[in-house]
Chains A and B, each alone.
Chain A
Amino acid sequence: GYKENGKDEL
């Protein structure tokens, strides 16, 4: 999945 603010990591 992807998040608009790029915070797709742990």
Chain B
Amino acid sequence: MNIFRLAGDMTHLLSILVLLLKIYATKSCSGISRKTQELYAIVFMARYLDLFTDFISVYNTFMKLIFIASSLAIVWCMRFHPVVRRSYDRELDTFRYFFLVGASFALALVWHDKFTLQEVFWAFSIYLEAVAILPQLVLLQRSGNVDNLTGQYVFFLGAYRAFYILNWIYRYMTEPRFTRWIAGISGVVQTALYADFFYYYFISWKNNSKLKLPA
């Protein structure tokens, strides 16, 4: 564990807490893409298949449970909670994410560390996470003004993978024979997809203005 990876995990946890706060405090999920939440639930379930077979550390197991439970709870809220579900932007959240799932799985069948069920699903979860934010970014562009908590949620979600890239660079330099090509390349693609969001987020912070993504 290094400082970059801890910062990444804490930033990721923070993004989830901010989203839970937004939904709980405002009893609303307006501006949140349910499709992105569903993709993240798939990402965590596909990535943590080793949850019950390999024990790495209490921290590792605890965080995996938090990520799986929170993503499923948010999807449940957006689908079935009588109050929250009414504020879902159904007509704006129309990204056809089936292709993202299909393409990620097809790529995982081709490019993986080992051709085993666990490793193929791990690679699938890495590729899917790289593109999982797309429905959310499209929704932000369509829904005009973005409320503060939603903007902070997306910002922390994008920042966490940037910390992971620093972690991989650090491990590559300090651990002999450390390579993490699949996660590294996907992580760069994932973080790059946030580039324009980060730009407009910075502008809104500098001008102390409302965050607005151009349509």
A interface, CB within 8 angstroms of B:
1-3, 5-10
B interface, CB within 8 angstroms of A:
5, 9, 12, 50, 54-57, 60, 63-64, 67, 113-114, 119, 122, 164, 167, 178, 180, 183
Option from B55, B67, B113, B180 in Cβ contact (under 8 Å) with A10: B67
Query: How far apart sit A7 and B12, CA to CA, in the bound complex (Å)?
Result: 18
Determine whether the beta carbon of B119 is less than 8 Å from that of A2: no
Determine whether the beta carbon of A10 is less than 8 Å from that of B64: yes
Determine whether the beta carbon of A1 is less than 8 Å from that of B55: yes
| Majority secondary structure, B binding face | helix
Determine whether the beta carbon of A5 is less than 8 Å from that of B56: no
Option from A5, A6, A9 in Cβ contact (under 8 Å) with B5: A9
Query: How far apart sit A6 and B122, CA to CA, in the bound complex (Å)?
Result: 12
| Majority secondary structure, A binding face | loop
Q: A1-B55, A1-B56, A1-B57 are in contact. Are A6 and B67 (CB under 8 A)?
A: no
Query: How far apart sit A10 and B114, CA to CA, in the bound complex (Å)?
Result: 19
Query: How far apart sit A7 and B60, CA to CA, in the bound complex (Å)?
Result: 11
A2's nearest neighbour on chain B, judged by CB, is B56
Determine whether the beta carbon of B9 is less than 8 Å from that of A7: no
A8's nearest neighbour on chain B, judged by CB, is B56
**Pairs across A and B, CB under 8 Å, 14 listed:** A1-B55, A1-B60, A3-B50, A3-B54, A5-B114, A5-B119, A6-B113, A7-B50, A7-B122, A9-B5, A9-B167, A10-B63, A10-B64, A10-B67
Q: A10-B9, A10-B67 are in contact. Are A5 and B113 (CB under 8 A)?
A: yes
Which of A5, A6, A7 neighbours the largest number of chain B CB atoms within 10 Å of its CB? A7
Query: How far apart sit A6 and B56, CA to CA, in the bound complex (Å)?
Result: 11
Determine whether the beta carbon of B114 is less than 8 Å from that of A8: no
